[in-house]
Structure 1
């Protein structure tokens, strides 16, 4: 019951002010992007040895 109510409230929030929701979503994406890139195998100095990206490149 509480989960359904929370889901309904989240949906309403996303539909009422779409601009605010878009800005919030882009902010979260900007925060998570460096971690996602590092998980894929990109380091500060280039490819991380033994990573997914290094295996895919060669």
Structure 2
């Protein structure tokens, strides 16, 4: 889901943030934060490609 003020994106934000917290606590997410202009974000993971694909597929912002 692109970074826009769309209601669907804004509605998904709490679940997205909760998921990122869980991934951080599990040691899979190293760092995360939005771009200064809020057009996207940087997410740094410490996982293999298969796990990364699963994480991204399950994220409320991309699912």
More strand by share: 2
TM-score normalized by the length of structure 2: 0.30
More helix by share: 1
